[in-house]
Amino acid sequence: MVIFGLSSCAIRKYVPEGKAILIENFIINDSTKYNIPKSEVNNYIIQKPNKNVFGWLPRVWVYYKTQDKTDRKFYKWINRSFGTEPVYYSAAKTENSKQQIEDYLDNIGYFKSDVEPVMSSRNNRVMVVYKIHPNKPYKVRNISYKINDTAIAKIVNELEDDFQVKEGENYNFFNIYKDRELITNHLRDNGYFMFSKDYIFYEVDTNLMQKKVDITLRIDGESHDKYLINNVFIYPDYNARTANTTVNDTVQHTFTLRKKDSEHCFDFIYGKNPKIHLKTFNQVIQLHPGEEFSQKKVSQTYRALGSLKLYSFSNISFDTVPSDNDSVKFLNCNITLQKGKIHHYNIQVEGTNSGGDLGALGSISYRNNNIFRGSEVLRVSLKYGFQAQRVNNQFIEEGIFNTREFGAEASITFPRFLSPIPLHSFVIEYQPKTMLLTGYNMQIRPLYMRYIMTASFGYNWRASNTLEHILTPINLNTVKVLPSEMFETVLNNETNQRIKDQYTDHLIFGLNYSLIFTNQNVKKSNDFCYLKFDIETSGNVLSLFNETPIITERDGHHEIIGIRYSQFFKYQFDFRFYHYLPNKNMLALRLMYGQGIAYGNSIDLPFERSFYAGGSNSMRGWQFRSLGPGEFNNPQGYDMEHIGDVQLESNIEYRFPIYSMFKGAIFSDIGNIWTLTDNESFPGGQFKFDKFYKQFAVDAGFGMRLDFSFFLIRLDIAVPLCDPSYDEPNRWRISKLQWTDVVWNFGIGYPF
């Protein structure tokens, strides 16, 4: 009854006479002896109540208030975006729910159990309690097999340990269904092309007095045929419109995957030159003549073909081949591939706003999906930007746009595994890609020029539909800084190493590893999670050569080619949850934590690997790299950007449609960065367990998005609500906000 007491009477007058709003469903198990999963039972309740906040229904209230005004576009938008139609209690649907729950209890072994719905009503609101009175569950006593095909009987016996249905366990129809799928998939992976689950039956015999179940697994058919692959025909330049009129040639391609393996042969059929090396398909196509048909290999081949960006469409089909030998059946495999565009170009121009310093950034990129005729993807991009940047709130150079940046990047992705170690089984199972990248970036700023060069070599592979791995064993990054004469004098007089490290030459040489999990289904609007875990190390390999001529020592640290190398360990978690709401609304949440530790040849993390907060993808109430660490406050200084060794941040964003491609969002961010040690550069910035929670920054704002499907332009407007740079009594700024506190952030794509 508490929920009724908390319910607001604001919507009571809108409820039609004779109707009541369903507030809540409760499930009560009348027996403590039997564990019946309530979450599963809830799936069989037909009527789901409106979501409430302590009994209040804000979205229903919006719906009622705007329903009679939907002839006007604004109120119609409010009604659809923020309102929810009330769920009225239905006795008929409650009765249907009761029946569905009882059927579910039968399916998990609690035969002839009773479900009693009890309704409580007050002030046009209804709660329904489903009381479950379970009977004693039936146990599986015996499992027997009736399989006429001896070859299949042998396979089923080998699978017995993997079956969900086991003697002594509760009877469960859903486990029977899983075992049926397991048998079918295993047989289709071992040559039984024509086999389907329709051949499998389970005969269930119940003993009412003893509450026991005897199960007989029956597979019909005296004999089921195994199929071998006869020929593999590949059409690398297939066009459905001209397929029947084109005169094609057939080219046989013979190869071996390993020296000790037998030869394989593919038949390529095409009219014109397909412009791809035939050996590209050696490891991609996993169906080979003379081998048994395997549905798993069909799926793996589809996945591998999807990595060939040269092709926009692929299809695998099979034809039975007449045979005089009834004991052996053959299939011809037909693989048709349809080419997509090879050349892609993209030009982007955007305005930038960093701390009130306005500028522009433009980029041009080119992609070739078949650069070496093996479906290798070449990406080349150039970018140029300029900005009117102030130091100590003044322009110190002639001309407004005194900050410029130029960058170039090139990468090649090979749809195969390039390594001196073949790892044949790994390659066949996961189809890893190899990535090469190099880049150059030049930054010209009022106080210094910075040159950054990068190079990396790594691999990318998917372990499953939800799990991806990225391993970069070679990651090189060099930074060279040329300070102005005036700024060099300042740096020479600076005693704090962290400030000096931002503007000194250094080298990063190490490895990166990322694990990415997501259960998003792009075909369905279901809730999903995203998790990314990153690890990076640097300097460990180079430190092994400290006592060799390769490495020199100067001022107590080690250098290679005259540049001090960085040594550190860094990791980061990024977890996101996306909850779909009615009418294309969404609630997005993110929790992020990261930490880096410098050691050995480094005192602090390099500037490029340090954590930062603020900007369009982080704490949006602060400008880029302007928040923290901790309660640090230093509005003056020489272009010093705020960095730390630890980051903890959480974000929540409510996204909703406005009209057509226009979308909106309401968001709030909370978080900060900290240093691990006390640092003179950032007083008050050290992470301490008894203080860090008092140093969280909080912002809130709203966003406007222009969604073109293939990319999204975003404008987020935010204000800082709690600023840890103020002393504790004055950190909450809500009552002191001014227009100058508003921060505008432009971005491409969602922030998370």
Per residue in 137-148, pLDDT (tens digit) is: 999 999 999 999
Provide the CB-side half-sphere exposure for 104 (13 A, CA): 18
> Would 2-133 and 227-339 be classified into the same CATH topology?
yes
Task: Give 249's strand partners.
Answer: 270
Per residue in 309-343, pLDDT (tens digit) is: 999 999 999 999 987 777 778 999 999 999 999 99
Task: Could you please state the CATH topology (level 3) that the domain comprising 2-133 is classified under.
Answer: Ubiquitin-like (UB roll) (3.10.20)
Distance CA 670, CA 731 (A): 13
SS3 label, residue 176:
helix
Candidates 191, 250, 199, 196; CA nearest to 226 is 191
Distance CA 124, CA 8 (A): 11
Number of neighbouring beta carbons within 10 Å of residue 619: 28
pLDDT > 90: percent of the chain: 54
Residue 234 has pLDDT above 90, yes or no: yes
CATH number corresponding to 227-339:
3.10.20.310
Q: Which CATH code, of 2.40.50.140, 3.30.70.260, 2.40.160.50, 1.10.10.10, is assigned to 611-637+646-752?
A: 2.40.160.50
Residue 54 pLDDT: 66
Distance CA 75, CA 81 (A): 10
Residue 629 pLDDT: 93
How many helices and strands (H and E) does the chain possess?
12, 30
Distance CA 541, CA 511 (A): 10
SS3 label, residue 492:
helix
Q: Exposed, middle or buried, 632 (CB in 10 Å: 0-12/13-18/19+)?
A: buried
Residue 7 pLDDT: 41
Task: Give 213's strand partners.
Answer: 140, 206
Query: Domain residues of the chain, as ranges?
Result: 2-133, 139-219, 227-339, 611-637+646-752
Residue 6 pLDDT: 37
Beta strands in 388-483 (DSSP E): 403-414, 433-444, 448-462, 467-483
Of the listed ranges 483-487, 498-502, 588-592, the least confidently predicted one is 498-502
Residue 385: its H or E element:
strand 377-387
Per residue in 354-374, pLDDT (tens digit) is: 555 667 778 899 999 999 999
Q: Which residues of 156-167 are buried (b: 16+ CB within 10 A; e: fewer)?
A: beeeeeebebee
681 close to 496: Cβ distance less than 8 angstroms: yes
Highest mean pLDDT, choosing among 13-22, 478-487, 666-675: 666-675
Residue type present at position 361: L
Per residue in 388-433, pLDDT (tens digit) is: 665 554 444 445 667 888 999 999 999 999 988 888 888 888 889 9
563 close to 506: Cβ distance less than 8 angstroms: yes
Residue 395 pLDDT: 41
CATH number corresponding to 139-219:
3.10.20.310
Read off the pTM.
0.81
- With a CB cutoff of 8 Å and minimum separation 6, the contacts of 365 are 345, 346, 347, 379, 380, 381, 382
Q: Which residues of 236-271 are buried (b: 16+ CB within 10 A; e: fewer)?
A: bbbeeeeeeeeeeeeeebeeebeeeeeebebbbbbe
SS3 label, residue 81:
helix
Instruction: Report how far apart, in Å, the C-alpha atoms of 404 and of each of 383, 386, 451, 492 are.
Output: 11, 4, 12, 25
pLDDT, greater one: 244 or 741: 741
- Which tokens go with 160? 């017995």
Distance CA 350, CA 747 (A): 9
Candidates 446, 449, 379, 375; CA nearest to 411 is 379
Residue 496 pLDDT: 65
Number of neighbouring beta carbons within 10 Å of residue 387: 20
- With a CB cutoff of 8 Å and minimum separation 6, the contacts of 393 are none
User: DSSP 3-state helix, strand, coil percentages of the chain (rounded to 5)?
Assistant: 20, 40, 40
Residue 95 has pLDDT above 70, yes or no: yes
Per residue in 637-670, pLDDT (tens digit) is: 444 578 899 999 999 999 988 877 889 999 999 9
What value does the mean pLDDT take over residues 719-730? 92
Beta strands in 41-147 (DSSP E): 114-122, 125-133, 139-147
Candidates 182, 142, 138, 188; CA nearest to 164 is 182
CA 507 to chain centre: 31
Distance CA 508, CA 565 (A): 6
What value does the mean pLDDT take over residues 584-601? 94
Residue 52 has pLDDT above 80, yes or no: no
Q: What is the mean pLDDT of the chain?
A: 87
Number of neighbouring beta carbons within 10 Å of residue 733: 18
